[in-house]
Amino acid sequence: MQNAMPDIANTSSAPVQETLEWVGMSDIELPMLVASKGLTPVVVNAKAQAFVNLVDKDAKGIHMSRLFLALDQLSHAEQVTPKEISSTLDAFISSHHDISDQARITLAFELPLRRPALLSNNSGWKFYPVKVDARINAGNVDFEVSVDVTYSSTCPCSAALARQLIQANFERDFANKEIQFNDVHAWLGTTEGVSATPHSQRSVAQIKVRLSGKATEFDFLGLINNIENTLKTPVQTAVKREDEQEFARLNGENLMFCEDAARKIKAALNAQESVLDFWLRINHYESLHAHDAVAIATKGLEGGYQP
């Protein structure tokens, strides 16, 4: 009969006796069927982190295999929902009841969404970075959902300067002349007339929202749609000429500094009752400068997210 294998984590004491906030594993690869309000459950390839705290100063270490096996069970769930994640956190605690009283799971993945073109009868896939961070403490579960939304931002200052140049061109070409509609119409379609355009750049809104531990479902789609509908210039997938022209129109109608984008999103999130708290960072990856323009905002709750 094979001799019992040693279990150092159970039979040895820690040489230095201190508590630890988190101990566990990161970058665990897990395919899972993620459920979200308004979407058919979709298979994603997630990277998971699994942690418990270590409150027993004498314990040599935690049982990492128990965390891994509990996560593996989560990946086999019919749908990954807040309830399923809460059950996995309970399993983390119950398997470490004598040395831990808190647990944490982070799931990071890209959510594929089919997005229609602006005008043409086409569509394409966009993948949105999503992260779910769930924690349990004294039986209370908190959920944090993070999303990144990419959009186009056109500089209001640059637009005003471009308009000024176009006005100067108009004065140069039409001053002291009898103006005819057809002449002006043709002039507006030339680079000699409209000789300047504002600069725009790809931009990213990074959003973190805190949800109630009593949440029964995630709403990744609703959060992403809220941000895109607020900004009005999300990056596109399939684009024909009519779509590109419509995109140019939307950019022209929604000029924004990073401050404008941050204020719009802050107001939109404040209006969502399901969002208990939020943090946002706006990143405009400048085409004029070699540096970026950034704005950060929070809901401003005492004890909540900090800038």
| Predicted local confidence at residue 8, as pLDDT | 66
Backbone torsion region of residue 288, taken as left when φ is above 0, otherwise alpha when ψ lies between -120 and 50, otherwise beta: alpha
Reduce the DSSP state of residue 13 to 3 states and report it. strand
Angle, CA of 271, 259 and 112, to the nearest 5°: 65
| Predicted local confidence at residue 17, as pLDDT | 84
| Predicted local confidence at residue 9, as pLDDT | 67
What number of helices (H) and strands (E) belong to the chain? 8, 8
Q: Rounded distance, CA 97 to CA 10, Å? A: 13
Reduce the DSSP state of residue 45 to 3 states and report it. strand
Count CB atoms within 10 A of the CB of residue 80: 24
Question: pTM (2 decimals)?
Answer: 0.92
| Residue-by-residue pLDDT tens, the chain, 307 positions | 567 776 766 666 777 889 999 999 999 999 999 999 999 999 999 999 999 999 999 999 999 999 999 999 999 999 999 999 999 999 999 999 999 999 999 999 999 999 999 999 999 999 999 999 999 998 899 999 999 999 999 999 999 999 999 999 999 999 989 999 999 999 999 999 999 999 999 999 999 999 987 889 999 999 999 999 999 999 999 999 999 999 999 999 999 999 999 999 999 999 998 999 999 999 999 999 999 999 999 999 999 999 9
* Beta-bridge partner residues of 54: 20
Amino acid at 82: P
Residue 50 · residue 92 · CB < 8 Å = yes
Reduce the DSSP state of residue 62 to 3 states and report it. coil
Q: Rounded distance, CA 209 to CA 132, Å? A: 10
Please enumerate, as own/partner, the contacts of 101-104 that have beta carbons within 8 Å and a separation of 24 or more: 101/53, 101/55, 101/137, 101/138, 102/52, 102/53, 102/135, 102/136, 102/137, 103/51, 103/52, 103/53, 103/135, 103/136, 104/22, 104/24, 104/49, 104/50, 104/51, 104/52, 104/133, 104/134, 104/135, 104/136
